[in-house]
Structure 1
């Protein structure tokens, strides 16, 4: 343990011991009747009521059950507050860097700006970052059967919880009060094929005078869905499928047998010879920018072979227990574990000029054509290695979380201290369809492998050029925390309440592919490498001041010291005012921050394959070689150890009005201003530095005014820009009792007034629907209950780079379920999500034909469920 760590630990110990002495000193000497207080999400001060200054939405276990979802991300994607950056396993592919993982982005500010807590404590991030740099907590690690409720804090909360709470906090509260046992099973299927699901869970526990024990076991299994299973995504040629002149042919320019060009990049023609000639319907022309055809591409339709939703299998267990050591002193423990497996598929690996063939090679395709311009010339090629099979990746992950602690009361003070250890480990293996570039080039050079006549290659050489890949990741978090809450003294209008505490935390991540990746020998997949560690010490305090009987003011501040970038202090001021019994006003102002992730700081050389437009070449050649169209390029990323944290300022103003006993609503206005956003914008780099050979490397060419085809773009993460957003949250509830049963109506809306970032994104822009809402009705009568919910996602613009005036249409889906309680201890449920089987609206930006980060391609999912208590 180094001296800095010892100093921080000793500092934290001093804070804890001083806090205990202070709480003893200010505690009232005489015994008083204890008033039960609870801690609500957004504050460490225990309260006697649920309403507070911060806007918090709560979803109960019953709400989750009625939604019909089978995992947390399916629930969160339906929430109106979820925005751009929320991602599920949908669209996991052989190119993804976080297969099997899911997380939520509140208000579209990013999954790494939304803090995920379990029982009020942090969780370690996934070892595999999303999109190479986005650190996230994988919420697939949390089984639905273990959840008592989910609290969603909808304003910035770094003063309370520290880093990452820029957009808000999701606090998942686990069940800890089970008496007896309950077993349930759920089976479901989609209307259009694939995606069958089965889940079984067992919950049991007991409560005694001095102890409680809750055990939860859950098994979940889901069949894969391929893009081929849906009419709108089974081909990448959206132009042919739709007949829309604005739609594009997204089939790959790396086909089979492929396209050939000079190794110096000075020309290309289609492969129209040999045993496996390019099918006529896959040949598309290449123009020189003046309308003259100079060659052809042999395209390939990869869509039917790709995973839309991966196969997944998860087994999880949870234990929560408490033991009363003596009056007002308890020990507690939380133990969680999960193993999850996921399988993703993709078409055969594409090569983009990585391979060459010498002019005197024995397999040279023009060896017997002395009059051909490619005769005796060194060649390179775009081709897809389907001869070694389609790509398949398997991810095996383990998650373990252990919390042990003590808690107690002294007079009217509550205190708690705990140690946490959390570890996530994942192994990703490429088991089929991945070529080793070095061995393939050796086989080409020796004549053992003929890329232009694949059917002539024997199994022995195919086995030689194919490889298996391995990527191993691990993320750990260790922490020691303490907090105390209680009354300092009584004021005219109530007790002056105080909460304070501290935390010491150590975090580490490692994400390491095998040596083949590090040597650049594998193409056809993205690879990451990242290693880093940090420690953090924080102290915080909160004060609740009863200014009037009807007015409460809260002050909060948190100081954090990070080992890798320095320290930060974040304050927050909030109020809750009830001028009338049925009317309350609330508001808050505060600052927040997001520390650079360990992936962003410690990322090694990492390959990515973004779709970009070569704007500089497009301008100089009038669109030669399709340079004005989106194409896949190789980008090389590296971390930046000099990154500084993102900082933000936000405020919230809200009104709560209980109009009648059965009708109430709340409305909140929010505003966020975030500076120094950490990002890497490769299209921006291409636009600004496309002719700088130190940043954008190009293939040499002899064609006048042609800078040459891009080989790779060198990029890194920077504190690159700012973001502002504001909007309105509305929540309306109405209860109605009738002779035919009790009805509960609900309407939840998020309306974005403004969204503007450094990229030019705006409200209503691509992946930024301006409005989302859900309206629901629940009905209960005798032995039956039913629920129905409409989920609406507003229309939004097509991707800005496409310059289209058409919007991506709005989408409305209907979820419904019916429950029967007429059998003793047994509940039967029949339901469906997306009951009317709505297709996602068409989008022009990518091969799948819809926006996978906003809309679901699952279609109708019908299910039956049975729960039995004993």
Structure 2
């Protein structure tokens, strides 16, 4: 503990407490009749902890008026989960291993990432998704049934002293309904007002009554949502910049290596207008908009129950729910490469026969016809082409998850106790149903060597003949022939359907005590103690054809489809103590500490100190200091080999930019293999919260809270840092593939054919990489003057750096009461003072607040009129402007932006602020409720963002336009 941080944490602040301080009753009978409430952030029952910590509560009324039909929609209404790249929804889902898992969503506090936010249900953990987001394990909140939720409590400050690992940014606790009597059926239909159909349907049923002497509640929930494509809106249909093209078109171009003048040659049958490149070529280009799903289809079915029954002095509580979700996700069509994954696959010269004689002869005059080797071992003559497949990579995923918690509560003397067992599991099955092709079968097909049963023909060199075992030899597939059924059928034979199976399980047992410890200052010190034992297991196993293997030169059998092989398990135990100390009548102190021990990681102790001062009934001041930690996730600990794409940031390190990016500051990507690292240390965080609140009238509440997180030892791969270290460390430099058992960067195998002025190759210690780059340019005359990276760089997960985040939360609410009804106004706002993080591969600290995807200001304002049986309201959601992601664009894109006048005098631009307004109306009948909510009632388009290929920031904005939801609830 640092004394300066501790002193700061003890500072005083203002915050409104929604409840009066719970006074201890002298009447023992009355005290026993009052239920002691446990609030998120403390295990001490019967103490008003809301006033001692920055707790945000989404009440049952808030849920009803929100119009939300999923937990993610609901969590998007609070400012603590908006801004930054931590929270994600199915808008970010995709078919590849670099996308967020298909059909899943996560809530993140303060933009620190989903793995830094602890998700609880009724105060206990839930199994993480078996498919990680990158290597971050997270809880899929799409698996939590909204119909079962009574309220949500959000504690946006470090809470490991109470709950253990992962509560770095705080805790989101979903509280289930209980003691429900009656029955209700709710139906919600929603859609956009556009001509396309993005309809959604939500049905849920709840029933509760006394059964067998206890309270039983049953619930069921069904949700179905259609997909939403970029082509469904005019402002996302077309590319944001003409220069943001890819050479890899669905109608192949002729690769520049095969062209006599060294320029790409456009496909004569290009289906779209030709695009002029920065080299003056005219090519058939590809833009991702045509294959971009802004939201994927999602179907979810949930059911469960809660049951409470008293047995004398004991109370038995059980809750259970089961959820099945189905989704389909898409990624752009996979690029087509050579068998060894280098650019420019070969096609036989007869592929040009589909063109007219004049076009064919013209092309033959402009290209080289060279020999190439086929997968069957023949030598043919042809040319290289540039292309991608026509069908988007498509995966279907089905996830089954359940959670069972059963426990007993009772009293021992003056102490309350509770103990429960937890079993939670998430199991996912994924299959690639379209757009995935076997690299060997594909190259056999374009050489006419593929058999009808999917096998590759045997070649008899002596007889110069091909033969198939059980199938018949197919014709030669022509990548330039579009729309021909026979040709397409040959390609279909090369399709594969890789699978991926994952399972995540949590077994837990806990025991907690809460009660008065001792008399102190004419009051009592209240306390809580507890033990927890938890076992976690996770597996993520792809089919063999989706794995990279050293024995196969790390070549995944299929094009453009990586995977993660991960298996790990651990056992953890923890013990905590917590004390509520009345220092004076106005000043209270909370002390907490918890020790956690992992059998694979070691131990960690985390303390917390908090003070609450109430100088008057209207004023509450509070402050807290705490440490938190996040142990390396099971995926990070258990990664065997993860095939993915890693980015390196040319703007973070000028030496890296000069050697690998022609001096530009853009973001580059390469195929890499990630390995788990047994030497990983825990991520650590120190948090401070200082707030003040004022309630001048019964109907007026004001809160202000300052918060700060110092987050260290973040776990990730750092390709920028490895490239930087490789400049002076030859052990990280490899010509060709990285040898098995080693790590580092893979360079073009020909890089070792050039040397620096001392005669040293790139693999030798002391080599001057700048001189080698100059020699490489002279030797190979590459299109881009940069060191030629190869593929499958091998990187270890490591503790890459630090980030420090600070800001202020502000809330205001006031209710005007009239004879006819009441008018309420509320404002919630978050201001990010700073978001500092070291650049990858550099000790330089960058300020993220106000930059791409990190708005400095986020706010929500609500105005509601309530009468006896109806209500109407307006809610405005505001996201401030922030810098566009300009510095990571390529030179040709920057030139186009400059020509459009979009850049300021510093070569930058801002994404505009965005405000949308929701209108909500509701009417309550005797046995029914009906409501209507209209989002984005002014049909505002998302602000233009040139730093995103989508043309807008899909994390902070959406492209739906005006949407509506109609809800009908009937009570039985």
The residue number in structure 2 matching 1:108 is 111
**Aligned-pair Cα RMSD in Å:** 2.8
CA-CA distance at 1:777 after TM superposition: 1.4
Deviations for 1:383-434, whole angstroms, at most 9, x for unmatched residues? 1121xx3332111110011111111123331111111111101111111111
Mapped pair 1:88 → 2:175? no
Aligned equivalent of 1:652, options 684, 689, 696: 689
Shift of 1:600: 1.4
- TM-fit CA distance, 1:532: 1.1
Q: Deviations over 1:558-599 (max 9, x none)?
A: 000011111000010111111111111111111100111111
Query: For 1:842, which of 935, 939, 944 is the aligned residue?
Result: 944
Query: What is the DSSP-based 3-state SS (H/G/I as helix, E as strand, rest coil) of the residue aligned with 2:128?
Result: coil
In the alignment, does 2:209 pair up with 1:206? yes
Residue in structure 1 matched with residue 407 of structure 2 by the alignment: 405
Q: Name the CA shift for 1:170/1:250 in 2 (closer, same or farther; >3 Å).
A: farther
Which of 216, 227, 231 is the aligned partner of 2:234?
231
Q: Does structure 2 conserve the Cα–Cα contact (< 8 Å) formed by 1:257 and 1:454?
A: no
CA distance in 2, matches of 1:847, 1:360: 31
Which has the larger share of strand?
1
Displacement of 1:359 in angstroms is: 7.8
C-alpha separation between the residues in 1 aligned to 2:722 and 2:260? Answer: 25
Contact persistence 1:80–1:772 (CA under 8 A): yes
Task: Assess, with a 3 A threshold, how the Cα gap between structure 1 residues 527 and 282 changes in structure 2: closer, same or farther.
Answer: farther
- Aligned: 1:43 with 2:39: no
Aligned CA distance change for structure 1 residues 267 and 850 (closer, same or farther; 3 Å): farther
Q: CA, structure 1 residues 835+397, in 2 after alignment: closer, same or farther (shift >3 Å)?
A: same
- Partner Cα separation in structure 1 for residue 76 and residue 498 of structure 2: 32
Which one is further off, 854-863 or 591-600?
Answer: 854-863
Shift of residue 539, structure 1, vs aligned partner: 0.5
Q: How far apart are the structure 1 equivalents of 2:792 and 2:283?
A: 21
* 2:767 match: none
Cα drift, residue 682 of structure 1 = 3.5
Cα distance in 2 for residues equivalent to 1:33 and 1:697 = 71
Answer whether contact 2:60 2:150 (CA < 8 A) is retained. Answer: yes
Q: Residue 607 of structure 1: CA displacement?
A: 2.3
Partner of 2:309 in structure 1? 323
Kindly state the Cα deviation for residue 737 of structure 1 after the two structures are TM-superposed: 1.1
1:196 aligns with 2:199: yes
SS of the residue corresponding to residue 908 of structure 2 reads coil
Matched, 1:661 2:738: no
Deviates more, 1:212-221 or 1:710-719: 710-719
In 2, are the aligned partners of 1:584 and 1:656 still within 8 Å (CA)? yes
Q: Please give the per-residue CA displacement for 1:774-815, whole angstroms capped at 9, x wherever unaligned.
A: 111121123321121111111111224348421111111111
1:4 aligned partner: none
Aligned to 2:386: 382
Corresponding position: 1:464 with 2:493: yes
Aligned length: 818
Following TM superposition, by how much is the alpha carbon of 1:144 offset from its aligned partner in structure 2, in angstroms? 1.6
In structure 1, the partner of 2:852 is 766
Partner Cα distance (2:345, 2:966) in 1: 62
User: So what's the TM-score if we normalise by structure 2?
Assistant: 0.80
Q: Does 1:488 align with 2:488?
A: no
**Is 1:788 the equivalent of 2:787?**
no
Within the candidate set 252, 255, 278, 1:257 is matched to: 252
Aligned to 1:575: 611
Change (3 A) 1:634 1:380: farther
Q: Which residue of 1 aligns with 2:746?
A: 697
Aligned with 1:736 (options 786, 792, 816): 816
Aligned to 2:429: 427
Measured in 1, the distance between the counterparts of 2:212 and 2:415 equals 22
Deviation (angstroms), 1:441: 2.0
| Deviation string, structure 1 residues 37-65 (Cα, Å, up to 9, x no partner) | 21011000002435342111101121012
CA shift digits 1:693-713 (9 cap, x unpaired): 353334456524653354344
Equivalent residue number for residue 927 of structure 2: 825
1:445 offset after TM fit, Å?
3.8
Is this contact kept in 2: 1:37–1:47, CA < 8 A? yes
Contact 1:752 1:771 in 2 (8 A): yes
> Equivalent residue of 1:394, what SS?
strand
Q: What is the DSSP-based 3-state SS (H/G/I as helix, E as strand, rest coil) of the residue aligned with 1:604?
A: strand
Q: Contact 1:479 / 1:505 at 8 angstroms: preserved in 2?
A: yes
Distance 1:252-1:786 versus aligned 2 partners, 3 A rule: farther
Assess if the C-alpha contact under 8 Å between 1:55 and 1:154 holds in 2.
Answer: yes
- For 1:499, the equivalent position in structure 2 comes to 528
Distance 1:630 1:446, change over 3 A: farther
2:696 is aligned with 1:671: no
The aligned residue for residue 68 of structure 1 is 67
Distance of 2:559 and 2:669 partners within structure 1:
13
Judged with a 3 Å threshold, the aligned counterparts in structure 2 of structure 1 residues 761 and 510 are, in CA distance, closer, same or farther, namely: farther
Distance in 2 separating the partners of 1:765 and 1:511: 35
- In structure 1, the residue matched to 2:157 is 155
Question: In 2 relative to 1, CA 629–588 (structure 1 residues): closer, same or farther, beyond 3 Å?
Answer: closer
On the 8 A contact 1:609/1:633 being kept in 2, the answer is yes
- 1:168 is aligned to 170
Contact preservation (8 Å) 2:337, 2:344: no
Conservation of the 8 A alpha-carbon contact between 2:54 and 2:156: yes
Other structure's SS at 2:92 match: coil
- Separation in 1 of the partners of 2:684 and 2:347? 60
Q: Contact (CA 8 Å) 1:233, 1:847: kept in 2 or not? A: no
Q: Give yes or no for contact 1:232–1:848 (8 Å, CA) kept in 2.
A: no
In structure 2, the CA distance between the partners of 1:375 and 1:164, relative to structure 1 (3 Å rule), is same
Question: How far does residue 302 in structure 1 lie from its aligned partner after superposition?
Answer: 2.9
CA shift for structure 1 position 619:
3.9
Distance 1:768 1:469 in 2: 36
Relative to structure 1, the CA distance from residue 87 to residue 360 in structure 2 (aligned partners, 3 Å threshold; closer, same or farther) is: closer
- Farther off after superposition, 474-483 or 455-464: 455-464
Residue 477 to residue 360, structure 1, CA distance change in 2 (3 Å): closer
Q: How does 1:179-578 map to 2 (within 5 A)?
A: 179-192=181-194, 193-207=196-210, 210-235=213-238, 237-240=239-242, 248-251=243-246, 253-262=248-257, 269-272=263-266, 277-279=269-271, 281-285=273-277, 287=279, 298-326=284-312, 328-353=313-338, 354=341, 361=348, 363=350, 374-378=368-372, 380-386=384-390, 389-446=391-448, 448-453=476-481, 458-519=487-548, 520-578=556-614
Corresponding position of 1:754: 834
User: Is 701-710 or 508-517 further displaced after alignment?
Assistant: 701-710
- How many Å apart are 1:356 and its aligned residue? 7.8
CA distance in 2, matches of 1:324, 1:579: 41
- 1:723-748: per-residue Cα shift (whole Å, max 9, x none)? 11111111111010124420111111
SS of structure 2 residue aligned to 1:634 = strand
Unpaired runs of 5+ in structure 2?
1-25, 354-359, 373-382, 450-475, 549-555, 739-743, 751-778, 840-845, 890-905
Structure 2 SS opposite 1:351: coil
Secondary structure in 2 matching 1:228: helix
| Structure 2: distance between partners of 1:582 and 1:136 | 40
For residue 764 of structure 1, give the secondary structure of its aligned residue in structure 2. Answer: coil
Note the C-alpha offset of 1:370. 7.3
> Which sections of structure 1, spanning at least 5 residues, go unmatched?
1-27, 241-247, 288-292
Match of 1:19 in 2: none
Q: Quick one: structure 1 residues 700 and 279, their matched pair in 2 at CA, closer, same or farther if it must change by over 3 Å?
A: farther
Deviation string 1:747-790 (CA, Å, 9 cap, x unpaired) is: 11111111101122421111111111111112112332112111
TM-score (norm 1): 0.89
